[in-house]
Amino acid sequence: MNLFEPLKSKGEDKKNDNENVVAEHVKVLIIGSGPAGYTAAIYAARANLNPVLYEGLQPGGQLTTTTEVDNFPGYPEGVTGPAMMEDLKKQAERFGSQIRFGMATSADLSQKPYKVTIDGEKTISADALIIATGATAKYLGLESEEKYKGQGVSACATCDGFFYKGQSVAVVGGGDTACEEATYLSGICKKVYMIVRKPYLRASKAMQDRVDSNENIEVLYEHTTKEIVGDMSGVNGVVLTNSKNEEVKIDVTGFFVAIGHKPNSDIFKDYLDLDETGYIKTIPGTPKTNIEGVFACGDVQDKHYRQAVTAAGTGCMAALDAERYLGTRVF
């Protein structure tokens, strides 16, 4: 496929689906408020493109669920996730970005200007669109998991691990994230069980070695989670099924889900090329999608690095490419 092809035929048949009246037109519309979205806003605002950014359901993105961020350059003493996102937001506003609360609920990228509907109500058209919608942690989908979310069930060890100091916890998943979370928790908790559905870990060798050499971590291979059990005060155990189909119960007060992330790309899937797991495909080394003038940055297009600093970097690239695109086009 030629990624430089100006407009994809994929979306052509959708042309007349979105009959919303356009309430506002902007030069640059940014969807998403993680490090990628805010950085794109900083650069676009400084280039006088008057960007409008919609924050989405979780203003500040995934980092607002993190406690300390120690690896973002420029904070020698570390910073909390929410504080860092507030700094990025203020910096974007300082140069005139309009940051608005609202969630993009549908999009029509079949023709220019591109249209995005916010909260199912207001449709905005834009000459250039920057998608920075990030990714969301996946859950197993068990009823008991839903019941105990925030009361023992979490998808972020660095956010919630502290609450389980000296206790026993479980981490489900066998990838790098699960190994990282288990290793992190092993420094806080009495015992960490890893619940892995296959007879092996999917994580990198280095991560596996860290888990294997950690006396606090016990890996339960070929086990799946049947149910999370608890009472009014929260989780107190997990019922597992082993390879012989026998039920096993482990006594834990925390249950950490680390089975991957889902990119928030659903509303664009009729128009943009996505990979098999839903990540938006970009031309390698750029934030350009298969539609000219539509850019993707941050975790919605990156399943490998997924760091605040790399997201910010691609946000910067998206704004610079949007500026170039707008500068070379007559609207």
Pairing relationship of beta strands 114-118 and 122-131 according to DSSP bridges = antiparallel
**Selected catalytic residue, list 13, 108, 127, 159:** 159
3-state secondary structure of 237: strand
Q: Is 282 in the site for ligand NDP (CB under 6 A)?
A: no
DSSP assignment letter at 149: B
Secondary structure element (H or E) that encloses residue 321, with its range = helix 308-327
Kind and range of the H or E run holding 221: strand 217-221
| Least Cβ distance, residue 282 to ligand NDP (angstroms) | 17
> What Cα–Cα distance (Å) separates residue 77 from each residue in 68, 69, 70, 86, 216?
10, 9, 7, 17, 29
CB of 244 to ligand NDP, least distance (A): 18
CB nearer ligand NDP, residue 122 or residue 303? 303
Smallest distance from ligand NDP to CB 75, Å = 20
- Of the residues 108, 127, 160, 321, only one is catalytic, namely 160
Closest of 314, 324, 307 to residue 132, by C-alpha: 314
77 Cβ contact partners less than 8 Å away, ≥ 6 residues apart: none
Residue nearest to ligand NDP (CB): 175
Residue 94 found at the interface with ligand NDP (CB under 6 A): no
Active site residue 160: yes
Residue 180 CB, nearest approach to ligand NDP (Å): 5
**Can you tell me which of 10, 197, 226, 281 binds ligand NDP, judged by CB under 6 A?**
197
Q: H helices within 33-80, ranges in order?
A: 35-46
Query: Binding to ligand NDP (CB under 6 A): which residues in 118-177?
Result: 140, 172-177
Give the C-alpha separation, 78 to 80, whole Å. Answer: 7
Of 40-48, 64-72, 83-91, 196-204, the window that binds ligand NDP (rule: CB under 6 A) is 196-204
Q: Which helix (DSSP H) or strand (DSSP E) does residue 196 occupy?
A: strand 191-196
Indicate whether 226 belongs to the interface with ligand NDP (CB under 6 A): no
Among residues 13, 87, 108, 156, which one is catalytic?
156
**Interaction of residue 198 with ligand NDP, rule CB under 6 A:** yes
**Residue whose structure tokens are 């690239």:** 317
* Minimum distance, C-beta of residue 77 to ligand NDP, in the bound complex (Å): 23
Residues lying near ligand NDP in the complex (CB under 6 A) are found at: 140, 172-178, 180, 197-198, 202, 259-260, 303-304, 306
Active centre residues (catalytic): 156, 159-160
